[in-house]
Structures are given as C-alpha cells and as structure tokens.
Amino acid sequence: MKDYYNILGISKTASKEEIKKAYRKLAHEHHPDKNSGTDAKFKEINEAYQVLSNEKKRAEYDRYGRVFSDGQQSQGQAGQWGSYDFGFSGAEPFGDISDIFEDFLGFGGGRSRRTRTKRGRDISIDIDLTFEEAIFGTKRKILLRKNVECVECKGSGNAPGSKIKKCETCDGSGTVRSQRTTFFGTFSTSVECSKCRGYGQTAEKQCKNCAGSGITRKEEEVSIGIPPGIESGEVLSLVGQGEAVQGGVSGDLYIKIRVRPHEVFVREGKNIVMLLEIPLTDALLGGEKVINVLDGEIKIKIPAGVDFGEVLRVRGRGVPIESGGRGDLLIRIKVRNPKNLSRKARKLIDELKEEGI
C-alpha cells in the first residue's frame, strides 16, 4: 500500500493548507519539464494529492488504506484482476484503464474512442522578492516568450475564408488504423490522423501566419499578483498561462518565490523579529525609542531594568494573516556596555556598586 502522507512529506494530521503547500513544492521540483523531474514521480505526487485533498477519499484512505469513492472496486470485487490498481485515484491528467485497452489492444474503434483534451506544456520560472514585497504583497509583470494561439486563424490552422472539407486520409473519422506487434501478437489500433490532427476535416488552404499549426511563438506580458505573507520556496500557479496547443487547453505557469534576506528583520512564522541595541542607562532606567519598521516609524517604551535578550512585543506589526489582522513585531534587546569610562562615570558606577546594584 502506498503511503500518500510519506509521498507528500506530511503528517497524518496535516491541514488542507499544509497538503496544498507540500503538493505545490513537490510538483514544482519533480515536474517532467525540469531536469530533476520524472513522469513516474510526478504522477505519484499527483495521485497522493488527489486523495488527500478530497475529504471523502482521505477518510476512506485513512480507514481502509485505499479509496473506493472514485469508482475503484474493493479487493473482494476485483474479479480476475485481483487487487491491482490500474488508475491513479481519479487524477484527471493520467486517464483510466479504458485508454490502455484502446491503445494497446485496439478495442472500441476510432469513432467510439473517448476524446481526450490536449494540453499545452507548463512553464516554470523563479521570481526574486525583497523582504518587504514578500510581507505585504506586490504585483509583477513579466515578459514570457511562449507558444500562443495564432491571431490570424484563431488556432484553427486554416486560412481565413478557406473552405473546409472532409479529410481524405481518415475519411472524416479523425483516426486511422495502425498495426502494432507485441509479445501477445499483432493488434490493430486506432491512432490520431496526422493529416487533420484528429479533427476529421481539413482546409483547402493553410494559414500562412502559423503554417497550419494554429500556434505561433510570441512574447506576452503576464501580470502576477503576489499575495501578502508569501514565503521563500512557495510556488504560485496561474492556470492557462503556459504554452498553448492546437485544439486543446494551455498549460499552467508555475512561479517559484525566492525572498532576499533583510539586513535588520527576520521572519519567524507570522512574526517579524529584529535586534535593538540600547545603552546601559536605558536598560537600567528605561526610556523611549523611535525605530523604523517595514511600514513606517513607531515609538516603543523600554521598561526599566530590562535584561539582555529580553523580547518586547509590538502587536499587529508583523506578517499579514489570511484570516485578517497581522502577526507581531518581536524586538530582542541587546544591552550595549560602555568600553571606555570617564573618571566621572567610573566614580558613579563605583557608587552604584557600593549600593549593591
């Protein structure tokens, strides 16, 4: 039995948000378009996400160790195929067992074959953000050179005004028969017609702008909204902003976030932490300080007798929270001890020493 929690690297008590975050990170790392990615690993990650992101399927998986609500049979009903799982727990991109038999054994014929929507390639990019941009969110515009739908023929590949006729190669079926030899023997299968690309129709004239492909290479500006509180390593996805494909849907755009470190502030969850150095007199007697934070100036009160390493909390000046409000600003105190004392200062400190301070 596959351990879906282990595949996504999460605990069995993980929230929906934690599941989604783990999936986005792993999907980006193991996407087949990347050098480190493989189809097998990407499918496994998607399979785990499809189950754990669905409350009903997750409950079945936690209780029985497998899922039944997506149409799979239980082991007692599996018949001659035993408990082998041909599907991917309802993961739409990877199809089902009917496609395997149609492709491999040629059952069903071209006209009864289930139409599958084509999908363009995904695009993955990295974006660098300043610490402030990551905390408060921002908007970015990027220029991508990618495959887009031809503006002249609107993706059809046909010259405007050209007459449409039945494809002579496949006789309008969109598929042609092909012989395939395997260790089981020779089988006749249906494959997509290369002449009409499965449409069953062709035009008398092809579009000159795209040479009949329906797709052209073009630079396109994409606007990206960065939400407040995003962390380094998170991945955003823009559906349909990837590569276009003729007769199908465009792929997605994945944006991996990299946050540059700040010279003063550090993020700890929903809080922002900074180090504040104060003189010994302020540590002993207390005082007030005006400090610059990410969104302006604030005045803080330093209590008398504050210790080295003590933390002062300023509520509502941290990272914005999805449910509303903000985390806190945590100020760690560092007491600056004097290095060179004047005679007067030394005398005063000696008097404090006599007082036991």
- Sequence-distant (≥ 6) Cβ neighbours of residue 286 within 8 angstroms: 301, 302, 303, 304, 305, 306
pLDDT in tens, the chain (357 residues): 688 999 999 998 899 889 988 988 888 888 776 666 787 888 888 888 988 988 888 887 887 677 765 544 333 333 333 333 333 333 334 333 444 444 444 444 434 344 567 889 999 999 999 999 999 999 999 999 999 999 988 888 888 888 888 888 888 888 888 776 766 667 777 788 877 777 777 777 888 898 888 899 999 999 999 999 999 999 999 988 999 988 888 999 999 999 999 999 999 999 999 999 999 889 888 999 999 999 999 999 999 999 999 999 999 999 999 888 999 999 999 998 888 878 888 887 787 777 766
If one counts every other C-beta atom within 10 angstroms of the C-beta of residue 57, the result is: 20
- Sequence-distant (≥ 6) Cβ neighbours of residue 59 within 8 angstroms: none
The count of C-alpha atoms lying within 13 angstroms of the C-alpha of 337, restricted to the half-sphere facing its C-beta, is 5
CA nearest 267: which of 335, 327, 333, 334? 327
At 62, list the tokens.
């936690």
**Segments making up each domain of the chain, as ranges:** 1-95, 106-127+143-223+234-257, 266-354
If one counts every other C-beta atom within 10 angstroms of the C-beta of residue 174, the result is: 21
pLDDT of residue 199: 75
| Fold classification of 106-127+143-223+234-257 (topology level) | Chaperone, DNAj Protein; Chain A (2.10.230)
Fold agreement between 1-95 and 106-127+143-223+234-257: no
Helix (H) or strand (E) holding 140: strand 138-149
pLDDT of residue 342: 83
Question: What CA–CA distances, in Å, run from 353 to 199, 200, 232, 344, 349?
Answer: 94, 98, 50, 14, 6
pLDDT of residue 88: 35
CA nearest 119: which of 247, 29, 241? 247
CATH assignment of 266-354, among 1.10.3210.10, 2.60.260.20, 3.40.50.720, 3.40.980.10:
2.60.260.20
The residue count of the chain comes to 357
At 101, list the tokens.
């038999």
Rounded to whole angstroms, the Cα distance separating 152 from 252 reads 24
pLDDT of residue 312: 96
Rounded to whole angstroms, the Cα distance separating 53 from 47 reads 10
Local structure of 64: helix, strand or coil: helix
88 and 94 Cβ atoms separated by less than 8 Å: yes
Percent composition of the chain: helix, strand, coil (DSSP 3-state, to 5): 25, 30, 45
pLDDT of residue 185: 65
pLDDT of residue 99: 44
CATH architecture of 1-95: Orthogonal Bundle (1.10)
254 and 236 Cβ atoms separated by less than 8 Å: yes
Burial class (CB in 10 A: 0-12, 13-18, 19+), 240: exposed
Residue list, annotated binding site for Zn(2+): 150, 153, 167, 170, 193, 196, 207, 210
Rounded to whole angstroms, the Cα distance separating 355 from 346 reads 14
Q: Beta strands 164-166 and 201-203: pairing type? A: antiparallel
134 and 232 Cβ atoms separated by less than 8 Å: yes
* Phi and psi at residue 167, to the nearest 5°: -65, 125
Residue list, annotated binding site: 150, 153, 167, 170, 193, 196, 207, 210
